[in-house]
Amino acid sequence: MGDFKLYYRIGMAAEKNILLDESIKDTYHGVAVGANVAAYGKTWVSQFLKTLSKPFFVDPQTHAFQTSRDFILKNDGMKKSYSTLALEYGIERIALGDKRELVPEDFDAQEDVMKFVKSTMEFQRKLIPPVTGSQKSIFEYAEILGYDEEISKVEEPEFLIAPYFYFRNTEDPWYNVNLHLMDCAKELFSESEVYVVICTEKDVLLEKKEIDIIVDHYSDINGIILWFSDFNELNQEKEILKSYIRFLRKLSSKDIIAMYGGHFSILSSKFGLNGISPGIGMSEYKNVTHRVTGGVFSNRYYIPQAKTMVVEADARSFYLDHPADLCKCNVCGEITKNASSDPNEFFTQLTPELAKKHYCLCKAAENRYIQERPLSEITENLKGDFNFCEENIDGIYNIKYRHLEVWLSVLEDIVASQVK
């Protein structure tokens, strides 16, 4: 495998500075942009992507027009970002005129399907306005002079994503709509790299028959983005995680990316997962129908040993008793150097932006470690983290870590079966 791709989702404009920061820029592969953000902030998003000059993809978020309209409504109408998107996608008659959700029957006519696929994918492709003639000659000139690395050439997404909808199981009419959309996308964009999104319930993973049907239907596509609704790695039972790994292994000839994902997903790179696309230090999972709220997030800090985010007050009380265990990444190391390793002072100086940079550095370190080491060694290391949490956190601090025990038991089973 070797190369596991970390994409970060951009939402608020504030994340721009973190992602552009020279000390962070090399810690991740690329960015994921929600189509609603792209539609609403077209100018800044395309400017940002050009300046960043790293791979990106656009999540078309077509499912938003399928689920309950609450999802995209504001007090007096549809959120501006989604009404802009409805216009871009050519579904304004339904979404804004009739004020209703999309239904599978909307995709009965081949002509409507083709139009929808075209508009949703062209939107991704043309997010960055095409280079004009004069700009093109600047590129060529720069290339002759050997400056090609300094001028951004990123113009198109790394891959295009076919429009997708959530399906409950393979008998759900939406499942067939997705297959139809995939076929049209491959036909219309045969020159491009076309990926699809499998957006469903994690229970599907437990049904062998369902898995076989899906693996068979998606055999002819290069890339798949997986989104199991509410798949919080910290709360999953062992059986679900093992089924998830079995599923990944069946798809392993493809480029498989998790729509969100945390540490367990990085571990899953050993079984065929090729990337994740969470928010920076947030949204490692998401419910498909969850209402998008712009609420204030409390300051959170990633605890490297427990592989989880906690509110700052909980991190503070833990490190006050364990100052020697404060993180030593470049960001945290810099603060402790200035704040004479007093945890109180440390958290006073830790801005939300620094906390997110710490998250990026931790993820990059986890990724590097997991790609370089064999599974047996990674398992031993995870055991070390679990023991650390048992000894130092158990019952005293409000930091979750029991998930480590579940993950460990999943990995140990796999290591044992490989030895046999």
Q: Give contact residues for Zn ion (rule: CB under 5 A).
A: 327, 329, 332, 358
Of the pair 52, 360, the CB lying nearest Zn ion is at 360
Least distance (Å) between residue 153 CB and Zn ion: 33
Least distance (Å) between residue 305 CB and Zn ion: 12
Of the pair 121, 332, the CB lying nearest Zn ion is at 332
Interhelix angle for 375-392 vs 402-419, to 10°? Answer: 150
Of the pair 230, 334, the CB lying nearest Zn ion is at 334
- CA dist 55 and 32 (Å) reads 9
Q: What is the SS3 string spanning 171-198? A: CCHHHHHHHHHHHHHHHHCCCCCEEEEE
Q: What tokens were used for 145?
A: 């002079």
Least distance (Å) between residue 333 CB and Zn ion: 7
Report DSSP letters for 155-176, one per residue. -S-SSEE------SSTTSHHHH
The helices-and-strands tally (H runs, E runs) of the chain is 18, 12
Least distance (Å) between residue 302 CB and Zn ion: 8
Least distance (Å) between residue 401 CB and Zn ion: 18
Work out the burial of residue 207: count CB atoms within 10 Å of its CB; fewer than 13 is exposed, 13-18 middle, 19 or more buried: middle
Of the pair 228, 302, the CB lying nearest Zn ion is at 302
Q: Do 86 and 95 form a contact (C-beta atoms < 8 A)? A: yes
Least distance (Å) between residue 381 CB and Zn ion: 18
Of the pair 60, 279, the CB lying nearest Zn ion is at 279
Of the pair 200, 336, the CB lying nearest Zn ion is at 336
Interhelix angle for 110-125 vs 173-188, to 10°? Answer: 60
Residue 232 CA, chain-centre distance (Å), reads 13
